[in-house]
Structure 1
Amino acid sequence: MRKIDKQASLKCFDGFKEKNPSANWSDFSAKNSSGYSAYQETKLFILTEEQECLCGYTELVIDDERNCHLDHYRQKAGHMFPEQTFYWDNLVAACNDEDFGAKFKDNKSGIKKSDYAEFFNPVMDAVQDYFYYNEIGEIEPHPTLSDPVLQAKVQKTIEVFNLQDKSLVNRRKTVIDQIRAYADLTKEETVEALKFGGFISLVQQYTNV
């Protein structure tokens, strides 16, 4: 996970909100809804322009926008944060996998409203400064992180998004092996060679770029 640098909201997104002040999310995102074209444009912009085609939580490559959705970092459902349903900075493009990432957060993690203070928000926090990827692809608190509160926040973030899922660990290990195989390349050449493979924060850690 790494920080997402949000940009200004799109005119189509703002226009839908202004014209439909009582709308719910399905009025915007459902295929037969009046807002669907604006939803598609919004999703594509967030994915490509703000997140460089990477899942906002796992850093997996999303090369087909049909394989992702717009997640509400702060859940809109139930008694969570319905007031943030159309808050631009609460929207993160996320992969559709059930075992980790956004859907794990919402469906399996069991988080409560009060838990949000205990884990990182990639829109607000420079998450890459707190995470460390060990040699087998697992995520740990960064070795320089001595604050026990921040260490606990790292662990809670890993737990909420299930970032230690075996498939994610294995894929990160594959990238680490590729970096080692490129030992004869410069750091910049290695980064260039791996720029379409995802896990940018991991690549940056191992190449010091």
Structure 2
Amino acid sequence: MRKINKAHALASFCDFSHQNPGADWNIDFSRPGARGHPIYIDTRTTILIGEQDCICGYSEIPIEDERDCHIDHFRKRSMFPQDTFNWNNLIAACNHEAFGAKYKDNKSGIRQLDYANIFDPVVDAVQNYFYYNERGEIEPHPKLSDLVLRAKVQKTIEVFNLQDKSLVNRRKTIIEQIKSYTDLTQAEIFNALISAGFVSLIEQYTS
């Protein structure tokens, strides 16, 4: 997970939310055939490509096909309905059930109060708090001495299941690739692997 620098909301998105107060996200906006669905597609494209460089906002896996992701509400709509059309609450996330947005929403058991104890990638420079060891596991950064922040790292990992075995294996593979490029400069290694996602990990091992 890393900091997401949000851009200005699309004018069409703002117009829809203002002209349709009380609109249902699923029925009126994201569902194919809904009156707002074309705007939903443009919104997803803008967030995924323009703001997140085609990586999942939580797991950092690469997303090459927009159909493999959805717009997630960082703060769940059921708990924070007022943020349903809040642009800064919208993150493009992969569709995997075992980790990321869907794990957060369906399996983590997150409660409204838990949001104070996890990092928000729109607000927080998350990459400064996380560390990727050589086994591909994610953990609090070794230089992070604040116990509250360390606990926040662990809770974030738990809520999004960022220690999922498939994620760990993918990260480990990239680390091994980085180590194998003995004849390349750090900048060359970064450029060679940037399309593999996991940008925070690559930055850590090439800086």
- TM tier, smaller: over 0.9
Please state how far the C-alpha of 1:19 moved relative to its aligned partner. Answer: 1.5
Please state how far the C-alpha of 1:58 moved relative to its aligned partner. Answer: 0.3
SS of the equivalent of 2:196 reads coil
List structure 1 segments (4+ residues) > 4 angstroms apart after TM superposition: none
Partner residue of 2:45? 44
Query: Does the alignment pair 1:8 with 2:47?
Result: no
Per-residue CA deviations over 1:43-97 (Å, capped at 9, x if unaligned) read 00000000000000000000000000000000002xx100000000000000000
Letter in 1 for 2:69: C
Letter in 1 for 2:176: D
Please state how far the C-alpha of 1:148 moved relative to its aligned partner. Answer: 0.3
Partner residue of 2:20? 20
Per-residue CA deviations over 1:163-202 (Å, capped at 9, x if unaligned) read 0000000000000011011121011100110010000000
Per-residue CA deviations over 1:104-150 (Å, capped at 9, x if unaligned) read 00000001000000010000000000000000100010000000000
SS of the equivalent of 1:93 reads strand
Question: Using the alignment, how far apart are the partners of 1:182 and 1:16 within structure 2?
Answer: 49
For structure 2, which runs of at least 5 residues remain unmatched after alignment? none
Partner residue of 1:129? 128
Partner residue of 2:32? 31
Partner residue of 1:112? 111
Please state how far the C-alpha of 1:101 moved relative to its aligned partner. Answer: 0.1
SS of the equivalent of 1:196 reads helix
Question: Using the alignment, how far apart are the partners of 1:44 and 1:6 within structure 2?
Answer: 13
Question: Using the alignment, how far apart are the partners of 1:97 and 1:195 within structure 2?
Answer: 21
Partner residue of 1:187? 186
Question: Using the alignment, how far apart are the partners of 2:182 and 2:103 within structure 1?
Answer: 36
Partner residue of 2:138? 139
- TM-score when scaled to structure 1? 0.98
Letter in 2 for 1:117: A
Question: Using the alignment, how far apart are the partners of 1:165 and 1:159 within structure 2?
Answer: 10
Letter in 2 for 1:25: W
SS of the equivalent of 2:127 reads helix
Letter in 2 for 1:169: V
Number of residues of Structure 1 aligned to a counterpart in Structure 2: 206
Please state how far the C-alpha of 1:32 moved relative to its aligned partner. Answer: 1.3
Query: Does the alignment pair 1:175 with 2:174?
Result: yes
SS of the equivalent of 1:140 reads strand
Partner residue of 2:75? 74
For structure 1, which runs of at least 5 residues remain unmatched after alignment? none
Please state how far the C-alpha of 1:41 moved relative to its aligned partner. Answer: 0.2
Question: Using the alignment, how far apart are the partners of 2:182 and 2:94 within structure 1?
Answer: 31
> Could you tell which deviates more after superposition, 176-185 or 84-93?
176-185
SS of the equivalent of 1:136 reads coil
Partner residue of 2:150? 151
RMSD: 0.5
Letter in 2 for 1:20: N
